[in-house]
């Protein structure tokens, strides 16, 4: 069974209140028309009738204005921005995501701490390898210089016949340990 995502849940809630909102908006239009008519009647009553008719129209205006305001409040409450069901869904989702962010932060800090210790050891090891690399190159240069003066028989005794450089390439080992050689970001 597939779990609904937040957008799907909100869509269902919006559909649930859509009919009610439509009805409320239609009633609002009707009351606005009634209000316009009552205001016109009020203006006419002020100039041509008795105080009782003015009071009656004024009471009707107050009643319609209260209905319009109540309905406006309900429409506002049912809108996405104020709908308590939608707000609750969004709040719950964000709380869950914030928990995940806190978990990621905690794991990041923990992993960083462990890697920082390893990094310190790695830096010491790389410095030691670099020293070995320098010594290796120096000795390789020395052997190369003097082996050029040996005859083939002596080169063969030393295992240098056909070899342009003696020893290993320490830099290859250093290079394999460098992070730049690894694709961290995929």
DSSP for 59-125, written as a single string: HHHHHHHHHHHHHHHHHHHHSTTT-HHHHHHHHHHHHHHHHHHHHHHHHHHHHHHHHHHHHHHHHHH
Say yes or no to pLDDT of 173 above 90: no
Contact 90, 6 (CB under 8 A): yes
State the pLDDT confidence band at 162, using cuts at 50, 70 and 90. Answer: low
State the pLDDT confidence band at 45, using cuts at 50, 70 and 90. Answer: confident
Say yes or no to pLDDT of 165 above 80: no
Say yes or no to pLDDT of 52 above 60: yes
Task: Please give the average per-residue pLDDT across 11-33, as a whole number.
Answer: 90
Task: Please give the average per-residue pLDDT across 19-40, as a whole number.
Answer: 92
Task: Please give the average per-residue pLDDT across 144-172, as a whole number.
Answer: 80
Tell me what pLDDT residue 155 has.
84
Say if pTM beats, i.e. exceeds, 0.85: no
Question: Could you read off the pLDDT of 125-137 as tens digits, one per residue?
Answer: 989 999 998 998 8
Distance CA 171, CA 168 (A): 9
Say yes or no to pLDDT of 167 above 80: no
State the pLDDT confidence band at 186, using cuts at 50, 70 and 90. Answer: low
């Amino acid at each position: 069974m597939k779990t609904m995502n937040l957008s799907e849940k909100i869509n269902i809630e919006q559909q649930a209140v859509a009919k009610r909102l439509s009805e409320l908006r239609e009633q609002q239009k009707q009351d606005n028309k009634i209000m316009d008519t009552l205001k016109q009647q009020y203006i006419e009553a002020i100039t041509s009738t008795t105080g009782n008719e003015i009071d009656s129209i004024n009471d009707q205006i107050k009643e319609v204005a209260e209905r319009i305001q109540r309905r406006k409040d309900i429409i506002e409450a049912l809108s996405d921005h104020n709908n308590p069901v939608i707000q609750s869904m969004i709040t719950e989702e964000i709380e869950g995501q914030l928990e995940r962010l806190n978990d990621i932060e905690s794991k990041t800090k923990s992993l960083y701490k462990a890697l920082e210790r390893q990094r310190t050891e790695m830096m010491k090891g790389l410095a030691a390898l670099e020293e070995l690399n320098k010594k290796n190159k120096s000795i390789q240069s020395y052997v190369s210089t003097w082996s050029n003066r040996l005859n083939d028989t002596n080169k063969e005794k030393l295992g240098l016949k056909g070899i342009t450089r003696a020893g290993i390439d320490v830099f290859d080992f250093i290079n394999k340990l460098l992070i730049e050689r690894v694709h961290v970001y995929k």
